[in-house]
Amino acid sequence: MNAEPRPLSVLDLAAMKAAGRRIVMLTCYDAAFARLLEQAGVDVLLVGDSLNQVLAGHETTLSTTLDQMIYHAASVRRGSRRALVFVDLPFLTYQVSIPEAIRNAGRVLQESNAHGVKLEGGSHMAETVQALVERGIPVIGHLGLTPQSVNALGGYRVQGRDNTSADRLLADARALESSGACAIVLELVPAQVAARVTQALAIPTIGIGAGPQCDGQVLVLHDMLGLNEQFAPRFLKHYAKLGESVRSAVRAFATEVREGAYPGKEHSFE
């Protein structure tokens, strides 16, 4: 009988980079999908504030609350045994002050049993990252397109296209690494810039729309499964077309109900 794989730790992320093993990350919002993703070999389950868009139908992540994140993170954690679980800190739960960031990140770990948090921003967030790490809260950084700043960035645009912004992105990445971040998500960044950042850091980079040379990749689960059919940016690959599968299954159920074919005798109790 095969022994169950040991749970991953935050230290494994740097070890995976050193060994050249690519890190697999997907967003996850509930226990059912957490079990399935873990069984399929996903290394990191990211409870993203994208749940505000994917599950609640909002246009941006900005109105996601800390209580929402904790509820979904606790659900994911109950469904996982091996994978690391990181949780996005929502907008304005960590930017106002370092004490507030510590308090809110601490709530996430205490109430959800997650392994760490993710926050957006570069050099200006380095002191906050350091304060969290010093208090035993692992942090993943997020650079490039930062969805919580979508209004300031003028929309969902590729970042780091010119030399100045590329140099700034590298400086931000180094600042986050120096502050103790255990990994950095690079979103919507030119492949050459992401490769440069990846080569410069000892901690892993995890790309989304950042080319193939990052140390790992992340996608929003519902996007890659084809459940969010209206969303089709260049970087996204659909690995399934579950939207049509769901419609087909529901149509079959509806037909059988209307025709009296379901439930049959085999589905009924005497």
Residues with a known catalytic role: 187
Which tokens go with 181?
């971040």
Helix (H) or strand (E) holding 24: strand 23-27
DSSP 133-170: HHTT--EEEEEES-GGGHHHHTSS-----SHHHHHHHH
Handedness of CA 26, 30, 31, 32 (dihedral sign): negative
Q: Are 135 and 106 in contact (CB under 8 A)?
A: yes
Cis upstream peptide for 263 (omega within 30°) = yes
Give the pairing type, strands 205-208 and 116-118: unpaired
Which tokens go with 19?
């060994």
Phi, psi values for residue 23, rounded to 5°: -90, 130
Count of residues for the chain? 270
Residue 72, SS3 per DSSP:
helix
